[in-house]
Each structure stands twice: as structure tokens, then as C-alpha cells.
Amino acid sequence: MIARYSRLGLTLAAAGALAMASCRPQSDNGAPEATAADIGFDRYKERFIDSLWYYNPGWASSQGFHKYDEVLVLPTAGRRQIENKAAARGLKELQGFEFDKLSPNNQTDYLMMVNQLRSTRWYNDTLRSWEWDPSQYNLGAPVAEILNGRYQPLPQRLRSISGKINRAIEYYEAAKNNLRNPTPEHLQLAILQNKGGLEVFGQPLLDSVDRADLPAREKEELRARIANTREAMQSYITFLDQELRPQAKRSFRIGKPLFDRKFAYDIVANASADEVYGRALAHKKELLRDMAGRATRLWPKYMPGQPLPADTLTRIRQVVAKLSATHTTPQGFVGAVRQQIPQLVKFVDEHKLLTQDPTKPLVVRETPLYMRGSGAGASVSAPGPYDKSADTYYNVEPLDGVPAEQAESYLREYNQYTLQILNIHEAIPGHYTQLVYANRSPSIIKAILGNGAMIEGWAVYAERMMLESGYGGNSDEIWLMWDKWNMRVTLNTILDHLVQTGTISEAETVQMLMRDGFQEEAEARNKWRRATLSQVQLSSYFTGYSEIMALRDELKKKQGNDFDLKTFNEQFLSYGSAPVKYIRQMMLR
């Protein structure tokens, strides 16, 4: 990836410079002295962030920067040209800094900033998802974030909402003008999520207007704008359903050239997409060997008197099915998630895996309607570095209204064992914990331009690290089910590659995930849906996890008996959400 920045003087030698930069004069307290280059670059980073928020007000709001809450960017061709010019200007400004004179921290920030600017232009000009993905147009999410925030009094937040939705009609008209031959999958998601978005502009928002301390004129104006927004959203839904649906013939597969480039921009790994795909295939074999051994040992306990199948896949499948039979109820699913969180907090504290911050609230909630339908049953919505004290939401999609057979399949997938692993991944010490640390990073660049592979990779690593530390009693049961879970991560990468660069069908996908991944049908079909709606993201889990494990193994070998797990975990997290390849260079220097 660094080699692609040769226009800015960033050849492969930049990687060496990142490591060599530690040989700097130090102050009396042992910290590296700030050089003139670093001082100048730190000033520039402030201007860079100001510009980033000016051009991306919605993103700014999600990070806790609320200066531009009331600004709504109209997604027009003219706007994309403005963004491209700003990115080109930023790249030119970065050429004025001598990379090898910057500290390792600033070198990493520099590379992340370059990647952000280059990817902005590529997304606008080459990937062009604004043309074929109708789901990226939805005012429900940004308005809900403002309404649900606690960073300002209600009247001030309502004024921001009023300003943002003042041009809702123009916003959705611009969206209609952008769309050409969308994919059927993204069109259907857009209809579903915009219908959910309508709920944001329903009675709860009107009730907030009624009780707010605002002049009657402002209330009347805001009610009118809410009505206009609902009308614009409904018009957009009708447009998608009736006018655009006949045109929706584009394949969701972006093809290998686009996939490889998107992988490079989004993942920022030490390896190419093809190399990671090869690693995933090899890891799949390793997992199957371990699962076979554990299933064989568990067979007499769970299948007493039954002959051991000669076929290892059959053996594994039957033991996994037996372990999956114990699970919560559809009505108790969200509650079961909520109940496990304190247990995870206690285990991390007792085993001294890392230092936690009890002042940062984690709220388990049902996934809002405008966020549902993507195939991800659980997610985390974390506050940004400007709003560190705000709630982190653990979004869990409830099973209300799901047919009984489908709900049973889903709950067998998230059984007594894997539900715990899910909560480790999403909450503690996974996403929630990592993002709390990221907000404390001294580099706001690393907190804002977070690398998805590092974020997802840490969550997968956290699962294994917890089990290695004794969570679940080090039993064959918990390890077998983690192997199954980790097989999902591995198959995510394989599936991502096969779906986006190949020709694999839904039937073939479901068969592969159920056969090789021992997944329930409901999970397999959800994963197919997710693989058709995203590109590269499914590869981030295995990529980040494998790179973190490789780094930890390298440091264990280097440090020997001096290696300390808590120190490793906290040092790794201290660099914010930087790509693992850059964290590795800083930790090994």
C-alpha cells in the first residue's frame, strides 16, 4: 500500500523510516523531543480535521463534533467535484512535509491521511456506489443521532434537526437523480431502511417538539419540516419501488479489479486480497483438524453408546448440533445479552487482561428500525473522540415477529456458548473496549480514520484471548464452539472473495456455510445477504485477527519470559484504530 504513494515520495522505504524514526533525541523524561517537522505537522493535522468535518458534517456529528449538525450535504455531482478538489488540495499540501523527519506516530497519521484522501476520490470517481446503492440515502440515521444525543439541551438539538431537514426534498431529489441501474439487493435494503427511517420522524419526535422550550413559531416551522421530510422519504420509497425497481438489474458483484483496490484502501494490510484469501483457506483446514479432535473427545459424553462416525465432518456436525440445542428463547434474547455483560467485566478485571473504564456507559438496546435489514444481528454504535462520555450502544436485533422455525434456527446459532462469544466480540473486551481506548488515543487522526480490519481483528482476537485466559473453563465444549465461530470469520473472507470476484450462488453459499462452517440455515442465508450488500468488509475480521496474532507471537518470541499479556493488550490499544501493519511497526521498533 505504501508503494502506491510514490507520487508523494512514499516508496517502500517509508516502512523502514517508520521503524528508524525511534532513533530520536529524547527529553529528560525519556519522551522523544518534538521536532520542528512534528510541530508543523501537528498544526496541519488540526486544519486537516477542520476541513474533514466541513466537508463531512454527518460524519462529524457521529464523532461527537456538533458544529455542523444542522448542515445537510446534498449528494449532487457538483458536491462530488468539490470533495475531489479538496482531496487533491490535501494531497498536494501533504507533499510539503518530509516524511522521514516525522515521528513514528505522525508518520502513521500521514499515511492514514493520504489513504483517506486518495480513497475519497476513488470512491467518487471509480467505485461510484452513489450511482447504484440507494440505501446510502436516508435521513433517519443522522436525525436519530441528534435527537438521541445528550450533549446539548433539547431545544438546541431540535434547532439542529430543523436546519438539517430544511432541504430534505432537495436531498431526496438529488438521490433520485444520482441513481442509475441499482442492484436489486441494495434497492430492497433502501426501501426497508427508509421505511424504518420514517419512524424517526413520527410521534416521538413530535412529542419532543411539543415539550421543548421553543417559541411557537419555531415549533410550527419544525413540524412543517418534519411533515415535508416524511413526504420526501415516502416519495423516495415510492420512486424506488415503482419507478426504479424495473431498472434494478446491476449485479452486486463488483469484480476483481474493484475488489482488490477497495481491499487495499479499506483494509491496509501487509498482504494482498489474494494472499489473505489463501491464508483463510489454509486456516480453514487447521480449524477442521482441531474441531475433529475435540468432537472425538466429546463424543462419548454427548453421544453415549452411539458408534463414532468415520466421517469427521459428520462427527463434528452432530456434536455441534447437540451443544447448540441449549439456548435462550426468542422473547429472552435481548435480555440474555444484557445479563452477560457484567460477567464479562468481572472476568477481565479478575484476570487482569486490561484496564477497564467503568465511567464509560454501555447500553444494550434493540437495534433501531432504520439500522435493520443488513444481515448483521448485532453491532456497536460508539461515541466519537469529541463526545467520550456519551453512551455506547450495543445494538441487538430482536426476534419479534420472526417465524418460529427461523427464530429457532437463529437461536441454535447463538446458543449458550456462542452467545457469550458474540458478547465478547461486540462488547467486552471487544468492540466496546477497543473503541473506549481509541477515544483516549493522543492521535485524533487514528481515532477518526479508524481502520476496520484493526477494529474487527481486535474483537476476534479478544474472543481467543479470553478463552486462552480460562474463560469458559478451558473446556472442549467452549473451544469447539469457538472453532465453529472462528470458522465463520475464516469463511467470511472466503465468501467475500467468491461472491464479489466470482460466481458463487446463494444455494452454493448456503451449502458451503452449513457444510464447512456447521452454520444454521438462518445464519447462512443472513450471511449471503450481507455478502451481497457489502464488499471487503467481511474480509476485515480474519485479516486483522491473523495480523494481531502474528504480532503477538513475534513479540512473545522476542521478549521471552518478559512478555506480559496485559502490557501487550494495552500498548496495542494505545495506538487508536490504526492499521495493524502500522501498529506492528511502532511496537517492534
**Region of residue 176 (phi > 0: left; psi between -120 and 50: alpha; otherwise: beta):** alpha
- Cα angle vertex 348, ends 342, 350, to 5°? 100
User: Across the strands, what pairs with 394?
Assistant: 364, 380
β pairing state of 362-366 and 378-381: unpaired
Q: Distance (Å, rounded) from C-alpha 72 to C-alpha 167?
A: 7
- Residue 58 carries which side chain, given as an amino acid letter? G
Q: Distance (Å, rounded) from C-alpha 80 to C-alpha 65?
A: 22
**End-to-end alpha-carbon separation of the chain, Å?**
20
Distant-in-sequence, close-in-space partners of 359: CB < 8 Å, separation ≥ 6: 389
Quote the pTM value.
Answer: 0.88
294 within 8 A of 483, measured Cβ to Cβ: yes
pLDDT in tens, the chain (589 residues): 322 222 233 333 343 444 444 444 444 434 456 789 999 999 999 999 999 999 999 999 988 899 999 999 999 999 999 999 999 999 999 999 999 999 999 999 999 999 999 999 999 999 999 999 999 999 999 999 899 887 899 999 999 999 999 999 999 999 999 999 999 999 999 999 999 999 999 999 999 999 999 999 999 999 999 999 999 999 999 999 999 999 999 999 999 999 999 999 999 999 999 999 999 999 999 999 999 999 999 999 999 999 999 999 999 999 999 999 999 999 999 999 999 999 999 999 999 999 998 888 898 999 888 777 655 678 888 887 888 778 889 999 998 888 999 999 889 999 999 999 999 999 999 999 999 999 888 889 998 999 999 999 999 999 999 999 999 999 999 999 999 999 999 999 999 999 999 999 999 999 999 999 999 898 899 999 999 999 999 999 999 999 999 999 999 999 999 999 999 999 999 999 999 999 999 998 7
Measured over the CA atoms of residue 238, residue 241, residue 243 and residue 248, the dihedral's sign is: positive
**Region of residue 393 (phi > 0: left; psi between -120 and 50: alpha; otherwise: beta):** beta
Residue located via cell numbers 523531543: 33
356 within 8 A of 430, measured Cβ to Cβ: no
- Residue 424 carries which side chain, given as an amino acid letter? I
Q: Distance (Å, rounded) from C-alpha 507 to C-alpha 339?
A: 36
